[in-house]
Amino acid sequence: MKVLVVDDEAPARQRLHQLLDDLDGYEYAGEAANGEQAIEFAAEHRPDIVLLDIRMPGIDGIETAQQLNTLDEPPAVVFTTAYDEYAVDAFEARAVGYVLKPVRRRRLEAALSHASRLASATLSDVAARTGLSDKRQHVCAQSQGKLKLIPIQDVLYFQADQKYVAAFHDGGKSLIDDSLKSLEEEFGDRFVRIHRGTLVALARIESIVRNADGSTEAVLRGASQDGDKALIISRRHVAEVRRRLKGG
């Protein structure tokens, strides 16, 4: 079983590397110092298990696990944590694999043997119990054979594009694997549907205008391309868009 070690502290990564070398049936596959590196490594090398620090700067362990779940072959996850016993109840309640720091060989071996792929509902529950957010702050895109994490705050709108969904963001346009429906369910507090195939960030709508031909458009702020500055709102969605903009 190939194991990826993810921790923002080098001594912690070294400790886990040493322990894995002493365990039969497990192979140290590599290491990552943050969530973004972990996702890129997992996409390229496809480890069987990820030993994942739950508290890291930037993308924490919960979001990293969520992003790993979007891969074609998601790895199993074991969290490493310095949480006290009370907080660890969250992991045990949902049968989530974990090891406490400082990591001991016997506990690590037991956790690895019970590693599992974590469902979104499981991650949400653990996040709630440990005070972390269960919402992704990024979407994952493929760019020239590599994974690219796009901050949600940088996205102007999502649009269905045949088999894929395109994210139009401050850095350009990227294709993502998420469906429009799942994006609406996950980010519905920040985005509004203006058309059957388009979700727009509420914070990026500058105004709504009525054209001479009777159509209605959402004028966006921060759009880099002229074609992205105004998007048609279908008639059935106009009232809802106006209500959401008013904070209703």
Q: What angle do CA 238, 240, 242 make, to 5 degrees?
A: 70
Nearest-CA neighbor of 216 among 236, 192, 188? 236
CA distance 247 to 124: 26
**What does the pLDDT read at residue 124?**
83
Domains of the chain, start order: 2-130 (3.40.50.2300), 144-245 (2.40.50.1020)
CA distance 118 to 3: 16
Pairing between β-strand 2-6 and β-strand 49-53 as defined by DSSP bridges: parallel
For residue 30, what are its two tokens? 């590599």
Q: Where are the alpha helices (DSSP H) in the chain?
A: 10-21, 35-45, 61-68, 85-93, 105-113, 120-130, 180-187, 235-245
pLDDT one digit per residue (tens) for the chain, 248 residues: 999 999 999 999 999 999 999 999 999 999 999 999 999 999 999 999 999 998 898 899 989 999 998 888 889 999 988 866 656 776 776 667 888 888 999 999 999 988 878 777 788 888 877 777 778 899 998 777 678 899 999 999 999 977 889 999 998 999 998 899 999 999 999 999 999 999 999 999 999 999 999 899 999 987 665 556 889 999 999 999 999 998 86
* Other CB atoms within 10 Å distance of the CB of residue 153: 13
**What does the pLDDT read at residue 227?**
54
Q: What is the pTM of this model?
A: 0.81
